[in-house]
Chain A
Amino acid sequence: MPKVPAGVVRQSEIAEAVAEVERSLAPDVAHIRYEIATDWSGDWAIYFRVVLSDEASQQRLRDIATKVVGRLADRLDFQALDLFPYHHFRNESEQAVLRDAAWA
């Protein structure tokens, strides 16, 4: 396990940035959850789980996904946080069926 990244001790900064991105992209973005963990290669990473409105995911997925990724990168210096960002998306209807606690 590599050393603990700066991102682990700067959680409030991350939470604030994520909430800001969430607000700025509403209602296309319903909410964003995240988790700091190691990735497949053992490096520290931050996993974003983004729940989109059905309309945005079905009509403008590429556009809204690009915006989410870009705005998170603008607000958070992942290199300074020692975290590699990964992004996953689903829409509200899918989440309603899957009822995945990690995405709720």
Chain B
Amino acid sequence: MAFAEDLLNDAHHLAARGGKSPRQSSLRRGVSTAYYALFHLLIADFVVNWKTKDQRARLGRMFEHRKMSQAIFRFKSGTLNPVEADLQTVIAAFAQLQDDRYTADYDVGTIWSRTDIASTLAIAEAFVAWRRIRKEKIAQDHLMTMFGARRA
């Protein structure tokens, strides 16, 4: 978990660099790092369930970005309970950050502004929502789906 938090701190640091004239490289790295912070947070909470500690890193490397974002969760219609609402926040944040990260890393034509980065970092605060629900069955089930397992 510490690694994910370090990454989120790094993202804030990168986004704040350069004062009123930030370099696009810093802003892009900030976006990308914010995505990886959430990515590693989720993976860490999945692999910690694996009993053999020295195999956890290998297990984590089996996660695929595409599968993770395409893990569908069909929320029931009507008002969501607090756990479902938090999970919805995390899923939406992950999808947005993943697309932002792709743009930041590969689309050099897109110009990032300080405001856009600030809103990206606010999205990355889905950390808080995830922490509230990480041990809930619904959250652990969703991690399984992100890993590639079919929903039961």
Binding site for B on A (CB under 8 A): 39-41, 43, 45, 52, 57, 61-62, 65, 84, 86-91, 94-95, 98, 100
Question: Any chain A CB within 8 A of the CB of B118?
Answer: yes
Report the count of interface residues on B (CB-CB < 8 A): 18
Give me 17 A-to-B residue pairs in the complex whose CB atoms sit less than 8 angstroms apart, sorted by A's number: A39-B102, A41-B66, A41-B69, A43-B70, A45-B99, A57-B115, A61-B119, A62-B122, A65-B119, A86-B95, A86-B96, A88-B116, A89-B118, A91-B113, A91-B115, A94-B113, A98-B111
Question: Any chain A CB within 8 A of the CB of B40?
Answer: no
Looking at the assembled complex, report how far the CB atom of B23 sits from the nearest CB atom of chain A, in whole angstroms.
14
Top 5 nearest A-B pairs by Cβ distance? A40-B102, A90-B113, A94-B113, A89-B119, A90-B115
B contact residues around A90 at 8 Å (CB)? 113, 115-116
A contact residues around B115 at 8 Å (CB)? 52, 57, 61, 89-91, 94
Q: How far is the CA of A91 from the CA of B20 in the complex (A)?
A: 14
Query: Which residue of A40, A41, A95 is within 8 Å of B103 (Cβ)?
Result: A40
Q: How far is the CA of A65 from the CA of B116 in the complex (A)?
A: 10
